[in-house]
Structure 1
């Protein structure tokens, strides 16, 4: 456990650097937004394209792996939604809480961390999980929030499609898979460019996570703790049980899936909640609490897997 903690600690120390810089006002909201845009549109996109272009299609789009992740995630999504509705809150707020309970920081945290800690074999399952999170659950929350405002029909479908086409993570993975499927050669200057730019994704993403946390506040701690428990404990347990006992996937793949599911709540949940004006502080609290607790829980999960 101690050895794993010491291996994961540098990642969280970079997060801490970002948090400290923002708290010391070395990075204001405008600088944090600019850094996040750089990571999101350039560095992380280069990393995703790099991984996708080098992996065989079947290593990413594994139907058994996809179902082993999707089914328990959807089940937990419905459980968190039901628990929220029982408290008497609206369906839109319940959807935000459900998103907090199942959508982890796979792109900014899991991909750079787990490929370094577990090896390059982790990239395929992580890209599959990221695709499900972005394409299905990322679209689902938009559909629910827009429908709650009375929106429907072609306008809603157009908004969802536009959101996917404008998401650089989705498009970079799609472009990388197309490159791999066509077996196109990668010129040396292009490969070096992708390695150089993608290499900035890990420190940049971790620093941006920390800096963004400095602006978060921990309100309604009871709800935030419940949602953090769902994300950090129930989600990886459900995914692991489904992948191992039902789909009988290799333990190496199951381990990556469990570790990816054990990531804290993703920052884009807050962005969506704030954009639509639905429970943004609840999302903010959950991100802050789950990220803080994950310093210990994530190390414990990886140590248990080892």
Structure 2
């Protein structure tokens, strides 16, 4: 178990360093916003662009992998939605935001560095395949459901709302450009490649440190029962479904590892952004990110042990 924690802990030590730096006043809160803007709008899109542009789509784009991961995501979304409504009597809009918290795993800031430490850089192909569809899938499901329960948007307006939310996302832009380069075979000039590599090397460490600073803003408050449900769905149910389906569908060992470990990540910061966008369940979403991230230290190590 100590060996497994040694894989996971360095990632969370960087997150903890960011948390402590903001807590002790060594890193200004306004600087966190700047750091996260750099990583989320520039460095990580460069990382995803480069990864997708060079991804062997014939080898990595596997339908079974996507079914194993996104079936679990979808089940967690509806379990969170109806659990919040039927068990905790939350309004429908709150329930959708709570379901979104169980849906949107932190596939990039936590999933990539933990998978890299556990299995190496060369094993990240299936991770990038999952990430390529993640934001689009989650926002499509979350926004469509929210607009339906609010009964305020229909037809073309609904489609426009979904498309706008997805394609204003810098990560989606980086992924989309990566697919264009991959499918067209456009060469990336050597100088541009070196510039991208510089950005990529800064992406994950800076993002993890910034994530710690963001988490300091979230106070552990809100409905304990709902938060426990979200964490249970995100950290236990989602990877369990991915493991069961992935095994049944005959995924290779690297694919199964990527599907399960990525599914086992805590809710991402986007869950709070979604809740804030609609003005509902913001405290629950924020606290779920904080508590879920802390619990991932143990649950990620456990899932690494299970999948090998």
Q: Tell me which interval the TM-score lies in, with the shorter structure as reference length.
A: over 0.9
Q: Residue 299 of structure 1: CA displacement?
A: 1.6
Residues 70 and 132, structure 1, Cα contact 8 Å, conserved in 2? no
SS in 2 for 1:199: helix
Residues 153-197 of structure 1: per-residue CA shift (max 9 Å, x gap): 322211211222211211211211221222333322111111110
The alignment's TM-score, normalised by the length of structure 1, stands at 0.94
Stretches of structure 2 that go unaligned for 5 or more consecutive residues are none
Deviation of 1:59 after TM superposition, in Å, equals 3.7
Between stretches 11-20 and 114-123, larger displacement belongs to 114-123
Hey, what does 2:37 align to over in structure 1? 37
- Assess if the C-alpha contact under 8 Å between 2:103 and 2:138 holds in 1: no
1:80–1:97 CA contact under 8 A, matched in 2: yes
Contact kept? 2:220, 2:290, Cα under 8 Å: yes
Task: Kindly state the Cα deviation for residue 60 of structure 1 after the two structures are TM-superposed.
Answer: 4.1
Once the two structures are TM-superposed, the CA of residue 2 in structure 1 deviates from its matched residue by 1.1
Q: Which residue is 2:170 aligned to?
A: 168
Q: 2:98 touches 2:285 (CA, 8 Å); kept in 1?
A: yes
Q: Does 1:233 align with 2:228?
A: no
Which piece of structure 1 moves more, 143-152 or 61-70? 143-152
Does the residue aligned with 2:124 lie in a helix, a strand or coil? helix
Partner Cα distance (2:110, 2:59) in 1: 21
Computed over aligned residues only, the root mean square deviation of the Cα atoms, in angstroms, reads: 1.7
In 1, Cα distance between equivalents of 2:188 and 2:181: 9
1:123-148 deviations in whole A, cap 9, x for unaligned? 33222322333112212222233344
Q: Would the aligned equivalents of 1:112 and 1:201 in 2 still touch at CA under 8 Å? A: no
How many residue pairs get aligned? The number is 305
CA–CA separation in structure 2 for the residues paired with 1:118 and 1:170? 26
Separation (CA, whole Å) in 2 of partners of 1:164 and 1:101: 19
Q: Which residue, 225, 229, 232 being the options, matches 1:222?
A: 225
Report the Cα offset of residue 85 of structure 1: 1.5
Per the alignment, residue 295 of structure 1 pairs with 297
1:165-244 alignment, distance < 5 Å: 165-219=167-221, 220-244=223-247
- The Cα of 1:58 is off from its aligned counterpart by 2.6
Post-superposition offset of 1:52: 1.0
1:205-225 deviation per Cα after TM superposition (whole angstroms, max 9, x unaligned)? 111111111000112222212
Q: TM-score, normalised by structure 2?
A: 0.93
CA contact (8 A) 1:107 1:130 kept: yes
Of 238, 250, 260, which aligns to 1:258? 260
